[in-house]
Amino acid sequence: MATGKVRWYALVSLIPLAACLAEFLTGSTPLPSIVVYPPGFVFNVGLYGGGALLIREATIRWRKRWGAVLLLGGAYAVGEEGFAANTMINPNSAIIGNQAYSHWMGVNWVPLASLTVFHSVFSIAVPLLLIELFFPETKGCRLLGNVGLAITMVLYGLTVFVLTAWLGDPIRAYSRSCGFSCGLRIGIHLSALQGSEVVLAGERRPTGPPRVRLFPLRTRFHGIVLHRFGRTHANWGPHP
């Protein structure tokens, strides 16, 4: 684990950097909104900052590298855009506009592909790379202890839950997202396993080319099937 003031410098830098980089550079969140609507920035901090911090801690604890960072960043993108913002699910999203042209089997396929790549790179990988460049002493070192990791996980999960309920009917959002969230969990675990193949393939097979799997198709298929099942049974439970 990183020690001294540099640990706190890296923490304080990573969280707002991840929260600001993608949102402000793309114009999705105007810079004056920090003053005009502070709760929006707080949610960005919890979502982007928490996600980037958790992925960094996971890859370091599991001894993975950038392949796993990108894979877990893709899983993060599905959690944010598909679960919290519903832009990968809702064909009439107020955030990205009408998606009827790409909506099939309950999924907006164009946002699924584009936003997964975008968040994996600019929301996760780039902030983590910048922190390593700004604070080289923290490279390969954890920034959180077990208690800090647990608190971060709770805050991140709470942020996703609140945004999911806020951007739609909480009952329907939950039932609609059940299958999708199951697929997301499978994706996270399989991404981590495949990330280990990316990192360790060259070491296990020194005489052959490394096996690199950047797009786990089976993971995506399982997620889509489970998500479709969740939408098919979206009427379970009481409705207002």
Q: What's residue 189's pLDDT?
A: 52
pLDDT band at 238 (very low <50, low <70, confident <90, very high): very low
What pLDDT is attached to residue 148?
A: 93
| pTM for the predicted model, two decimal places | 0.70
Residue 55 sits in which domain range?
5-169
* 185 assigned to some structural domain: no
Give the pLDDT band (50/70/90) at residue 87: confident
Q: Is 228 contained in some domain? A: no
In a domain, residue 201? The reply is no
pLDDT of 134 strictly over 70: yes
Q: What is the 3-state secondary structure (H, E, C) of 10-43?
A: HHHHHHHHHHHHHHHHHCCCCCCHHHHCHHHHHH
Read off φ and ψ for residue 202, nearest 5 degrees: -65, -30
Q: Is residue 143 pLDDT above 90, yes or no?
A: yes
**Tokens standing for 75?**
């899983």
Q: What is the per-residue pLDDT for 186?
A: 52
Contact 120, 138 (CB under 8 A): no
The average pLDDT across 49-73 equals: 94
Residue 115 falls inside a structural domain = yes
Q: Is the pLDDT of residue 48 over 50?
A: yes
Q: How many domains does the chain have?
A: 1
pLDDT bracket for residue 161 (50, 70, 90): confident
Asked whether residue 166 carries a pLDDT value surpassing 70, the answer given is: yes
pLDDT grade for 131, boundaries at 50, 70 and 90: very high
| Mean pLDDT, rounded, of the chain | 75
- Report the SS3 class of residue 160: helix
The answer as to whether 233 is a domain residue is: no
Dig out the tokens for 152 from the structure. 């971060």
* Helix-helix angle 126-134:5-26, to 10 degrees: 140
Instruction: Find out whether 106 and 231 touch, Cβ atoms under 8 Å.
Output: yes
Side-chain-side CA neighbours of 155 within 13 Å: the count stands at: 20
- Residue 85 in any domain: the answer is yes
Phi first, then psi: what are they for 104, rounded to 5°?
-155, 135
Region 57-76: what's the mean pLDDT? 93
Q: Which residue has the higher pLDDT, 85 or 203?
A: 85
Whether 196 shows a pLDDT value over 90: the answer reads no
Q: Which residues of 169-206 are buried (b: 16+ CB within 10 A; e: fewer)?
A: eeeebbbbbbbbbbbbebbbebbbebbbebbebeeeee
Which residue matches tokens 């929006």?
40
Q: What is the DSSP letter of 83?
A: I
The predicted structure's pLDDT at residue 39: 86
Over residues 61-78, mean pLDDT: 92
Q: Is residue 221 part of a domain?
A: no
In this prediction, residue 213 has a pLDDT band, given cuts at 50, 70 and 90, of: very low
Residue 95 pLDDT > 80, yes or no?
no
**Looking at the domain assignment, is residue 216 inside a domain?**
no
Q: What is the mean pLDDT of residues 117-141?
A: 94
152 with 53: CB under 8 angstroms? yes
Sign (positive or negative) of CA dihedral 131, 137, 138, 143: negative
Kindly report the backbone phi and psi dihedral angles of residue 23, in degrees, each rounded to the nearest multiple of 5, phi listed first.
Answer: -70, -45
- Cα(102)–Cα(235) distance, rounded to whole angstroms? 24
**Dist. CA 131–CA 9, nearest whole Å:** 10
What values do phi and psi take at 32, rounded to 5?
A: -65, -15
pLDDT at 101: 86
Cα dihedral 95, 101, 105, 107 in deg (nearest 10): -20
pLDDT (mean) for 29-41: 81
